[in-house]
Amino acid sequence: MNLLGHVWEEVMENRIIIKCAGPGELDACYKIRREVFIGEQNVPEEIERDEYDAAAAHFIAYNEGRAIATARAVLKDGGKTAKIGRVAVLKSARGTGIGRILMQAIERAPELSGVTDFILEAQTHALSFYEKLGYRSHGEEFMDAGIPHFHMRKPAMQTQL
């Protein structure tokens, strides 16, 4: 595999995180998102893909050659903040640590090295997943796409190297 231009890390044997560099990898991300958000969580198809996808960095995780998880990062505040979103692990791969590995790889991605804060909008059921990664919630619970959420934030300096 040509990894030139990719962010990748062989975190554990056969588990690789890649920053998408071509339409094939991007399609694999969208396929996972479709299955998880539209198929499982009933998010309306017309809002699952949005205007931020074009500018986002998209990441994909493989296990034994199979694409199993994805997330994206969007730079905000002139590049000081990275908003991580669309975090999705295929149902069959959950509980194996891949969500944590994906998040940690994204936080270390070279194109996000200038950010001071990572932010996200966590589905309430996933709060402790993000808390274990060092994110803290703030504000009131709010609804998005019919799903309860909290705003969360993590200073970049807390990212484990």
Residues of this chain that interact with ligand COA (CB under 6 A) are 36, 87-89, 94-100, 122-123, 125-126, 128-129, 132
Q: Which residue is nearest to ligand COA (CB)?
A: 99
Q: Which amino acid is at 31?
A: K
Spatial neighbors of 139 by CB under 8 A, at least 6 apart, are 150, 151
Q: How far is the CB of 152 from ligand COA (least distance, A)?
A: 9
Q: Which is nearer to ligand COA, 44 or 97 (CB)?
A: 97
Pairing of strands 117-123, 136-144: unpaired
Residue 67 parent element (H or E): strand 66-76
Would you call 96 exposed, middle or buried from its count of C-beta atoms within 10 A (0-12, 13-18, 19+)? middle
Q: Which is nearer to ligand COA, 88 or 112 (CB)?
A: 88
Q: Answer whether 87's CB lies under 8 Å from 125's CB.
A: no
Q: How far is the CB of 132 from ligand COA (least distance, A)?
A: 5
Q: Which is nearer to ligand COA, 48 or 117 (CB)?
A: 48
Q: Which is nearer to ligand COA, 2 or 107 (CB)?
A: 107
Q: How far is the CB of 56 from ligand COA (least distance, A)?
A: 15
